[in-house]
A and B are shown apart, each in its own frame.
Chain A
Amino acid sequence: MCRLLKISGNSLYPVYQEGDFVMISKISLFFKPVKRGDILVFRHAYYGTLIKQADHVLPGGKEVFVLGTGEQSIDSRSFGPVKIRDLDGRVIHHIKKPGT
């Protein structure tokens, strides 16, 4: 199952920018484990649906530490690791906003 989302915010700048579209897939997570560099979408209780980059999977393989590329990013440095089971999907396609 795939979903199309639009990015708001710039914590993954410069590769992913505000206004870009991304296609995400949850099924791909079952076939291919999360690895460093994957762009992941997940739901956070306070911040809502977030998109961040996987930095490393914690021992046990049930949680992943996610980061933004910007220093000001709200990510696992502030809210801790994300449970793998809470991931909405991995980005499988990226449609950039023209001119960015």
Chain B
Amino acid sequence: MIYKFLEALDQRFGFERAKAHCDIPCGIYDPHTALIAALTVVRMNDLMADLQNSGNPQDLAYVNSMSRYITVKEEHAEKVKQEVRIIWGDYMKQQHIDKHPEVHQLVHRIMQLASQARQSANRDVSVQLVEAVNEFGEIFWDTKGVTVKRAKAPYAPGLEIIYPNV
């Protein structure tokens, strides 16, 4: 009751914050970076498949393009792992884990999927990676008390991703 009243006042007038800081106090965490990286992995798989269907593996241009797609796929699969690890390891505290005990298993699944996405050219794996990062993002935003919506990304590969309702 008192808390709700104070919260309403805070929403309207904004009380000063007393920071109980941990680590480097930048406080900027957002799973969207990981989501974009996961989408990029899917996109690279699509571009690789397109090139395979239309190009000539003997052409230098083919080799050059395919090499670039693979490199970007590698980099972004690794970026997914790094971004998720930062939120999981730096941002998430015991009370978040108490509320979402499944997060450890989910993070482990993301690590495994991202590694598989690097090792293979399997589109299904990369799509599963996007969905796992979506689930992770839903947990993250829930810890912030922010609801999310799902919508198709307005760019290729046009998969459904989460957006915070802020």
Interface residues of A (CB under 8 A from B): 3-14, 16-18, 21-22, 24, 41, 47-52, 68, 70, 72-74, 95-98, 100
Q: Is the CB of A49 within 8 A of B18?
A: yes
Please, which residues of chain A bring their CB within 8 A of the CB of B27? Answer: 8-9
Binds A, one of B9-17, B52-60, B108-116: B9-17
Report the minimum CB–CB distance from A34 to chain B (whole Å).
16
Name 28 interchain pairs, CB-CB below 8 A, sorted by A: A4-B6, A5-B17, A6-B18, A7-B19, A9-B20, A9-B21, A9-B22, A9-B27, A10-B93, A10-B95, A11-B22, A13-B20, A13-B95, A14-B94, A14-B95, A17-B95, A18-B20, A21-B10, A41-B18, A47-B21, A51-B19, A51-B20, A68-B20, A68-B22, A73-B22, A96-B3, A97-B3, A98-B3
* B93 and chain A: residue at smallest CB distance: A10
- Asked if A6 contacts B20 (CB within 8 A), the reply is no
Give the B interface residue count (CB, 8 A). 18
**Chain A residues, CB < 8 A from B154:** none
Cβ-neighbour of B23 out of A14, A18, A52, A72 (below 8 A): A72
Chain A residues near B23 (CB-CB < 8 A):
72, 74
Q: Which residues does B use to contact A, with CB under 8 Å?
A: 2-3, 6, 10, 15-23, 25, 27, 93-95
Q: Which residues of A contact B95 (CB under 8 A)?
A: 10, 13-14, 17, 100
